[in-house]
């Protein structure tokens, strides 16, 4: 499989020919709708540059606005205390047959690999950060100036790991129903986790195109999932979470202070 490397030192003439073959200039007429959409995108970029450079703002104060085409509606993301940890990177997914520590039957090494994905449980944030969130949270008992949250990514990975363990009852035992929390129906942890994963996949709706390539030996077009994706940097998010980790033990059954 041919891959392009993002380095001018490694780009050869063959790669340039492949790229240039797709870049044949053709005159094009632009519709009024296209011009308006381009103008909306340009104005949105100017607004975000102004917000970032404004002395009265910090990176955490920026509410990112993204043009949504068609229609050019501006949508905004909700504030998160981990805003400064959001960084993006391009990387390929694994292809068929590629095995990692996360694959296969459960072993101590496999368990360790999964557990290291979400090393942080609860996070400690300031009152100012809590006041800017879309949903209120509770104060930390004995630390009235700080509030408690957990990043949803860690909950999602906990759920995926739980579903993985449910596939191996001979190793981890049956996933028993928990005590009712909000009603008289026993809490089905696995069922809850499957739904959490479903909601996350539907919420983020990855539209990265998977590709199909003809296999001359097999005489069939084979799907390739090892394509480049734009991903959030987990190293950056984990570093932020560790730096803001709630280290003190707390009892969730103990009444907590209400948020703003």
pLDDT, tens digit, 9 for 90 and up, residues 160-198 = 999 999 999 999 998 877 766 666 677 789 999 999 999
Question: Strand runs (DSSP E) across the chain, as ranges?
Answer: 65-68, 73-76, 88-92, 123-126, 139-140, 143-149, 211-215, 220-224, 228-232
Nearest in space to 81 (alpha carbons), one of 243, 211, 252, 258:
243
* Angle, in degrees to the nearest 10, between helices 108-115 and 152-166: 160
For residues 29 and 18, give the distance between their C-alpha atoms in angstroms, rounded to a whole number.
Answer: 26
CA dihedral over 66, 68, 69, 70, signed as positive or negative? negative
- 146, β-bridge pairs: 126
Instruction: List C-alpha distances in Å: 45 to 39, 41, 202, 258.
Output: 10, 6, 27, 38
Is the distance from CB of 10 to CB of 16 less than 8 angstroms? Answer: no
Cβ distance 211 to 223 under 8 Å? yes
- Confidence at residue 174, expressed as pLDDT on a 0 to 100 scale: 87
Distance CA 172, CA 191 (A): 17
Is residue 21 scored above 70 in pLDDT? Answer: no
Higher pLDDT, 111 or 37: 111
Highest mean pLDDT, choosing among 6-15, 54-63, 141-150, 180-189: 141-150
Tell me what pLDDT residue 53 has.
47
Residues 74, 66 contacting (CB under 8 angstroms): yes
What's the pLDDT score for residue 117?
92
- The residues near 36 (Cβ < 8 Å, ≥ 6 apart) are 72
Q: What pLDDT, on a 0 to 100 scale, did the predictor assign at position 112?
A: 96
Token pair 């003439």: residue? 13
Asked whether the beta carbons of 257 and 139 are under 8 A apart, the reply is yes
Residue-range domain boundaries for the chain: 83-259
- How far apart, in Å, are the Cα atoms of 200 and each of 5, 155, 156, 205, 257? 31, 11, 8, 8, 29
pLDDT tens-place string over residues 118-155: 888 899 999 999 999 999 999 988 888 999 999 999 99
What kind and span of H or E run contains 22?
Answer: none
User: At 230, phi and psi to the nearest 5?
Assistant: -95, 115
- Of 194, 185, 201, the C-alpha closest to 160 is 194
């Amino acid at each position: 499989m041919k891959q392009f490397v993002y380095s001018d030192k490694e780009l050869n003439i063959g790669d340039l020919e492949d790229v240039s073959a797709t870049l044949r200039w053709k005159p094009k007429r632009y519709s009024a709708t296209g011009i308006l959409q381009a103008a909306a995108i340009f104005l949105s970029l100017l607004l975000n540059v102004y917000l970032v450079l404004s002395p009265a703002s910090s990176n955490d104060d920026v509410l990112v606005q993204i043009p949504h085409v068609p229609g050019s509606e501006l949508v905004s993301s909700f504030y998160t205390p981990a805003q400064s940890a959001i960084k993006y990177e391009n990387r390929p997914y694994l292809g068929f047959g590629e095995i990692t520590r996360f694959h296969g039957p459960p072993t101590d090494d496999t368990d360790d690999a999964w557990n290291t994905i979400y090393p942080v449980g609860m996070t400690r944030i300031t009152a100012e950060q809590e006041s800017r969130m879309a949903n209120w949270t509770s104060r930390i008992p004995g630390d009235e100036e700080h509030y408690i949250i957990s990043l949803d990514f860690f909950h999602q990975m906990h759920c995926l790991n739980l579903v993985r363990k449910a596939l191996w009852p001979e190793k981890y035992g049956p996933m028993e129903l928990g005590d009712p929390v909000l009603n008289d129906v026993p809490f089905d942890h696995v069922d809850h986790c499957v739904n959490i994963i479903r909601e996350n996949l539907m919420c983020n709706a990855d539209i990265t195109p998977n590709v199909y390539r003809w296999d001359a030996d097999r005489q069939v077009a084979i799907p390739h999932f090892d394509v480049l994706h734009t991903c959030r940097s987990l190293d950056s998010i984990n570093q932020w979470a560790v730096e803001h980790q709630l280290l003190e033990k707390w009892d969730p059954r103990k009444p907590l202070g209400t948020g703003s």
